[in-house]
Amino acid sequence: MHKRRIIPCLDIRDGKVTKGIAFQNNVDLGDPVPLAQGYADDGADEIVIYDITASVEKRPPDFATINDIARRVFVPITIGGGIQTFEDASRCIHSGAEKVSLNSIAPRKPELLTAIASHFGVQAVVLSIDVARDATAPSGWRLFTHGGRTATELDAIDWVTRALPYGVGEICINSIDEDGKKAGYDLPLLAAVRKVANVPLIISGGAGTVGHMVDAFRAGADAALTASIVHLGLQSLQDIKREIAAQGIAMRQQISMSSVLA
């Protein structure tokens, strides 16, 4: 049975977890290490860590923080932001990440996807796309880079089609329009990507209730990224999973290592 995943997302800026609305007006929430550990203990299936200013500042990921989190967290970790070279990706994985997420660099250097997939396996490569509605784009959605700051000339759905053969194991769909608004994921965007992609899809941007996650899973998402719900303490991950499972959707269940080691 296909089991869905819940993945807390930690956007990091200046060493702190931060959260904004539509990629703007960010508020700092705290130290990423204890937050990641707390989410892992609460049943997170994976944890995604985005360094949201690394690409703009043209610097590599914060490898020390990755290592600190990996030593305390016993669920898969995905790292995004600032990965410009194979060496950056390799260092992320050797620092404890299971996957790397490529966003801004991918349209400029798609062969990097292939290099990472060839060495570490396709399962280690996540294509992250920041997307906003744009009536001038053929599909109605435009691809953005550099933390949603830079509009590209690429139609988002066309870019997904072109990127897949390079070695994409998963796609994380980040809706700029819905980010942080807690009004629901962009389900039409999810459906448009699902039509052209047969790899697992992670939906991101807009979850405010468990019902929004249920809607996304029923619309074809394999995993749901969440930030606002868990960062604001609206619900625990265990409660979220129980409510979704009660709707007939099979969920992965993680065993807390803290309880095992206690």
Between CA 59 and CA 73 the distance in angstroms is 25
Q: Lowest mean pLDDT: which of 19-33, 67-81, 242-256?
A: 19-33
pLDDT digits (tens, 9 = 90+) for 198-221: 999 999 998 889 999 999 999 999
Alpha carbon 98 to chain centroid, angstroms? 13
pLDDT for 260 beyond 50: no
Domain count, the chain: 1
Between CA 153 and CA 172 the distance in angstroms is 20
Measured from the Cβ of residue 256, the count of other Cβ atoms closer than 10 Å reads 16
Q: Give strand ranges (E) for the chain.
A: 5-13, 16-21, 24-30, 47-51, 77-80, 99-102, 125-133, 141-145, 150-155, 170-175, 201-204, 223-226
- The domain that holds 9 is classified in CATH as 3.20.20.70
Measured from the Cβ of residue 32, the count of other Cβ atoms closer than 10 Å reads 23
Q: Lowest mean pLDDT: which of 17-21, 128-132, 139-143?
A: 17-21
Q: Strand 201-204 to strand 170-175: parallel, antiparallel, or no bridges (unpaired)?
A: parallel
Name the residues annotated as catalytic.
11, 130
Range of the domain at 251: 5-261
pLDDT digits (tens, 9 = 90+) for 70-99: 999 999 999 999 999 999 999 999 999 999
